[in-house]
Amino acid sequence: MLTDVRGAAKLLKVSRAHARRQIKAGLWPIYRLGQRVVRIDVEEVKALSRVSNNVGGQTPLEKNS
């Protein structure tokens, strides 16, 4: 689902400022529709978050061992 920065921030439970910082840092992929219109795929950001939380390829059970 594509949404604007405000909608993405609300769905991901972060501030709009945080969302903008993530975009500016290149951590969240965006889709430009013209010069100023930006859309974010919330599901894509969630998927990236799950991957980055599992850095090193360990499962949560392996991390506790």
Kindly list the domain boundaries of the chain, sorted by start residue: 2-53
Q: How far is CA 4 from CA 12, 34, 54, 64, in A?
A: 12, 13, 27, 38
Alpha-carbon dihedral of residues 28, 29, 32, 38, nearest 10 degrees? -30
Alpha-carbon distance of 42 to 48, in angstroms, equals 10
The 10s digit of each residue's pLDDT in 12-44 is: 999 999 999 999 999 999 999 999 999 999 999
Q: How confident is the model at residue 59 (pLDDT cuts 50, 70, 90)?
A: low
27 touches 36 (CB < 8 A): no
The answer to whether the CB of 38 falls within 8 A of the CB of 31 is yes
Question: What size, in residues, is the chain?
Answer: 65
